[in-house]
Copies of this chain bind each other. A is one copy, B any other.
Amino acid sequence: MKNEDKHLIIIGGVAAGMKAAAKARRESPAMKITVLTDEEYISYAGCGMPYFIGDIIKDSKKLIIREPAYFKNMHNIDVLIRHQVTAIDTQSRQIKVNDLEKGQELRFSYDKLIIATGAQPIVPPLPGISLGNVFTLRTIANAVKIKTLVYSGNVKNAVIVGGGLIGLEVAENLVLRGIKVTVVELLDQILSPLDKDMSLLVQKHLIEKGVEVIISDGVKSFEGNENNIVTRVITGKRQLPADMVILSIGIKPNTKLAQDAGIEIGTTRAIKVNERMETNIPGIYAVGDCAETTHLVTRKPAWIAMGSTAAKMGRVAAINATSGVDAFKGILGTMIVKIFDLNVGKVGLSEREAVKEGYKTESTIVPASDKAHYYPNAKDIIIKLIADITTRKLLGAEMVGEGMVDKRIDIIATALTFGATVDQISKLDLAYAPPYAMAMDAVIVAANVLNNKILGKTTGILPQKVVEKFDRKEDFVLLDVRSELEYNSGHIKGCKHIPLDKLTSRISELDSSKEIITYCRAGLRAAHAYRILKNAGFKNVKYMDGSILAWLQELEK
């Protein structure tokens, strides 16, 4: 059978599915291609929905990139909306389809099948979960409902259940509409992909922007009024008024159809595929949010649903399902999110994840400027880098700041793809001019700091560990080496203050038998003070990673 006589069926019409369809057509001019979806809309930008709600994107049509007629006219691709695939018969190579409009059952034969069934929001079976104005945010329909409600002016209080990416993006967009927003997170931190120290920087910012952030508390039930509209959220510890609830606890891959057909499910509960995106059944591929892949750092199966991954997977499956050969080797869990004035990103493993994977890690937190210090509008980024001490390879990075985080995340993503060592990152020939970076870019500075720690040239201590030392009432000196002015405008409670330029002359004030931990604003002076003390024969000296910029507790004045 020639390719032009074959039939490629794609189940699912959003990112991965439509990308696969379009790419398959480019690869194969004559193959019959059919896309089936139980939804009403195809090819929409789920990631844009929070911004649609916040009216940064005005029109819901802007979120719909293409309509079925476009695919028919332009690509000769049949897109059947409101057609639910109910079964795959891998023996006869047929699918059973329910036409949701006409209520008919149909059958289609396929030669190649691409499963792009996506994922769905987790909706816990809590009392009151079906009340009015309790939403998930995954479909255009719900996005429009939420926006309409927000613009009705009837929402004073909104509760967001789950402190993940989407939840926090929505939080921002609701606050911008003047709504009081409470985020309730069951875990002991928001943004669980991040380490807690970095997550707390985000949490602090949310609170400053007026969002109430509740951690370590779970929703138990929802209460409504006589019209069955939600009015209250009952958590383990609290009762929260709520005119609207957004559930963003997480998502799960839609795998039932595949599983029922005998297609293998991976350890991550998503559909298992090889590099060609092929399942255990020859000729059947899985792509997008329903498909598993490999983590390029751990080399283990991973499922981290992202629109960017979906698009790449769709392309690879399309090439393999037509006449070519292509491979998708995996992901790094790269993420970026705008939360009010902050850019928050992560790539590779967090320190917690790395330790759990058995790596012996070293890490650092380094604040650095995103542009030349003297260039107007230069902003700070706080960079955490995590490395494997044994191989000196970088394992991951987390970044939080008003500065350009996305650029540095992408630099690290590229470096991680090629297994870069910390030293290699510190030597990268990155683009330099004052409006774009410091002469040594922020990631290079951070890599140098981490390299010094790995090589034993310096000893740092994370702020969180300093807090624990205070809590344990340990006998140590926290040394603030900033100027008088900076010290008076706010310092860490219990510190000793000696400005850096006085440190040599006043060094006798310090007891060299004690542990001394230095800090300043962003780390440079703390590192100098560390060096001065070491050179003066102090044995037990550390600097506090990230200094004041990474310090989360209240400052004393």
CA distance A268 to B504 in the complex (A): 45
Distance in angstroms from A329 CB to nearest chain B CB is 7
The answer, yes or no, to whether A184 is at the interface (CB within 8 Å) is no
Q: What does the 1/0 interface line of A28-46 toward B look like (CB < 8 Å)? A: 0110000000000000010
The answer, yes or no, to whether A252 is at the interface (CB within 8 Å) is no
Which of B165, B312, B374, B435 makes the CB contact (< 8 A) with A63?
B374
Q: Are A434 and B376 in contact (CB under 8 A)?
A: no
Contacts of A175 in B (CB 8 A): none
Which of B374, B407, B504 makes the CB contact (< 8 A) with A410?
B407
* Chain A contact residue count (CB 8 A cutoff): 87
Q: Are B47 and A312 in contact (CB under 8 A)?
A: no
Q: Are A428 and B413 in contact (CB under 8 A)?
A: yes
The answer, yes or no, to whether A429 is at the interface (CB within 8 Å) is yes
Contacts of A312 in B (CB 8 A): 426-427, 440, 444
Contacts of A82 in B (CB 8 A): none
CA distance A494 to B329 in the complex (A): 46
Q: Mark the stretch among A112-120, A417-425, A485-493 that contacts chain B.
A: A417-425
Question: Which A296-317 residues have C-beta < 8 A from chain B?
Answer: 296, 306-312, 315
Q: Mark the stretch among A193-201, A221-229, A333-341 that contacts chain B.
A: A333-341
Q: Are B431 and A410 in contact (CB under 8 A)?
A: yes
Task: Write the chain B residue with the least CB distance to A424.
Answer: B417
Known contacts A30-B535, A374-B57, A374-B62; A429 and B296 CB within 8 A of each other: yes
Distance in angstroms from A376 CB to nearest chain B CB is 6
Contacts of A310 in B (CB 8 A): 439
Question: Which A529-548 residues have C-beta < 8 A from chain B?
Answer: 531, 534-535
CA distance A309 to B430 in the complex (A): 9
Q: Are B428 and A417 in contact (CB under 8 A)?
A: yes
The answer, yes or no, to whether A484 is at the interface (CB within 8 Å) is no
CA distance A441 to B327 in the complex (A): 18
Q: Are A47 and B434 in contact (CB under 8 A)?
A: yes
Contacts of A307 in B (CB 8 A): 432, 439
CA distance A432 to B308 in the complex (A): 6
CA distance A332 to B430 in the complex (A): 9
Q: Are A411 and B409 in contact (CB under 8 A)?
A: no
The answer, yes or no, to whether A141 is at the interface (CB within 8 Å) is no
The answer, yes or no, to whether A414 is at the interface (CB within 8 Å) is yes
The answer, yes or no, to whether A331 is at the interface (CB within 8 Å) is yes
CA distance A204 to B62 in the complex (A): 32
Which of B15, B29, B413 makes the CB contact (< 8 A) with A429?
B413
Contacts of A30 in B (CB 8 A): 535
Copies of this chain held together in the complex: 2
Contacts of A534 in B (CB 8 A): 29
Question: Which A1-36 residues have C-beta < 8 A from chain B?
Answer: 15, 25-27, 29-30
CA distance A433 to B433 in the complex (A): 26
CA distance A306 to B436 in the complex (A): 14
Question: Which A335-382 residues have C-beta < 8 A from chain B?
Answer: 335-338, 343, 345, 347, 372-376
Contacts of A169 in B (CB 8 A): 433
Q: Are B345 and A431 in contact (CB under 8 A)?
A: yes
Distance in angstroms from A500 CB to nearest chain B CB is 7
The answer, yes or no, to whether A406 is at the interface (CB within 8 Å) is yes
Distance in angstroms from A382 CB to nearest chain B CB is 16
Q: Are A439 and B334 in contact (CB under 8 A)?
A: no
Q: Are B427 and A329 in contact (CB under 8 A)?
A: yes
Question: Which A431-476 residues have C-beta < 8 A from chain B?
Answer: 431-437, 439-441, 444, 448, 457
Contacts of A373 in B (CB 8 A): 65
Task: Write the chain B residue with the least CB distance to A48.
Answer: B434
Contacts of A407 in B (CB 8 A): 404, 406-407, 410
The answer, yes or no, to whether A217 is at the interface (CB within 8 Å) is no
The answer, yes or no, to whether A513 is at the interface (CB within 8 Å) is no
Contacts of A47 in B (CB 8 A): 372, 432-434, 439
CA distance A413 to B315 in the complex (A): 25
Q: Are B57 and A375 in contact (CB under 8 A)?
A: yes
Q: What does the 1/0 interface line of A385-423 toward B look like (CB < 8 Å)? A: 000000000000000000010110111011101101000
CA distance A493 to B165 in the complex (A): 49
Distance in angstroms from A251 CB to nearest chain B CB is 16
Contacts of A73 in B (CB 8 A): 501, 504
The answer, yes or no, to whether A56 is at the interface (CB within 8 Å) is yes
The answer, yes or no, to whether A74 is at the interface (CB within 8 Å) is yes
Task: Write the chain B residue with the least CB distance to A500.
Answer: B74
The answer, yes or no, to whether A145 is at the interface (CB within 8 Å) is no
The listed residue with most B CB atoms (<10 A of its CB), out of A409, A414, A435, A440, is A414
Supply 8 further A-B pairs (C-beta < 8 A) apart from A27-B457, A47-B372, A338-B436: A62-B374, A65-B374, A308-B437, A312-B427, A337-B433, A404-B404, A406-B431, A410-B428
Cβ contacts A to B, 17 pairs, < 8 Å: A56-B376, A73-B504, A296-B429, A308-B430, A309-B429, A311-B440, A312-B426, A329-B427, A336-B437, A404-B407, A410-B441, A411-B411, A411-B414, A413-B429, A413-B430, A417-B418, A418-B420
